[in-house]
Amino acid sequence: MNWEALATTVKLASTTSLILMIIGLPLSYWVAFSKWRWKFLVEAIVALPLVLPPTVLGFYLLLAMGPQSPLGRWYESLVGHGLSFTFEGLVVASVLYSLPFAVQPTAAAFGSVDRKLIEASWMLGVSNFETFFRVIVPQSWAGVITGLVLSFAHTLGEFGVVLMVGGNIPGVTRTLSIDIYDRVQGLDYSGASRTSVVLLIASFVILSIVYGFNRKVWFFGADRRHRQAV
């Protein structure tokens, strides 16, 4: 078991899901409630990583982060080194790669909040911003947590993008999935199998949590009422 790779992976997944939570909440709100006519284009862009080969995404990110691109140059002038083949670069790539896993369940949950509850909040003098945190998010916990956990799990298992953008630097960008790849290349099948089991069990446990959450059994009255209605 490569503990260093495990630590890198967990650090990457936690950072990514935390950032996705912060940018995912407002983005999901916008996706759920905006009436902009071109909204579908934004939705398509958010969903793109679901169908795009990770190598394609990784390739474009590599170009975007490189010293020839404005973004790469800007970042280098800011912190003194480039984005590609660094942990930060990996975080940027993972955030984009896991974006749909954070946004889609959250936006779906926001969109299914009873409109009357939101309007009732407005009619009690409470602003849109405050209504978001006092009504919409509490009514969407299952979706928010699903988004958080899925983006964590998805980052845990990412391979193609990591390889393209992060390379394979031990302690910095070598994650568990790349470690497995390395070991198989080096014919260390027992090492690869130990790591694989860890990833398999972790993924299964995480998905069980997600599906368990979405049974909504231990949730508040709204869901109880909903189940009666169904």
Q: Which residues bind another protein (CB under 8 A)?
A: 114, 116-117, 119-127, 134-135, 138-139, 220-222, 224-225
Nearer to another protein, 84 or 140 (CB): 140
Of 132 and 152, the one with the shorter C-beta distance to another protein is 132
Nearer to another protein, 39 or 224 (CB): 224
Smallest separation, CB 28 to another protein (Å) = 19
Closest distance to another protein from the beta carbon of 135 (Å) = 6
**Closest distance of CB 149 from another protein, Å:** 21
- Closer residue to another protein (CB): 37 or 185: 37
Q: How far apart are the first and last CA of the chain?
A: 48
Nearest to 9 by CA among 140, 137, 114, 152: 152
> CB of residue 228 vs another protein: minimum separation in angstroms?
9
Closest CA to 32 of 152, 141, 132, 146: 132
Cβ–Cβ under 8 Å, residues 158 and 177: yes
Q: Which is nearer to another protein, 46 or 142 (CB)?
A: 142
Nearer to another protein, 39 or 225 (CB): 225
In the complex, what is the shortest distance from the CB of residue 213 to another protein, in angstroms, rounded to a whole number? 16
Q: How far is the CB of 121 from another protein (least distance, A)?
A: 7
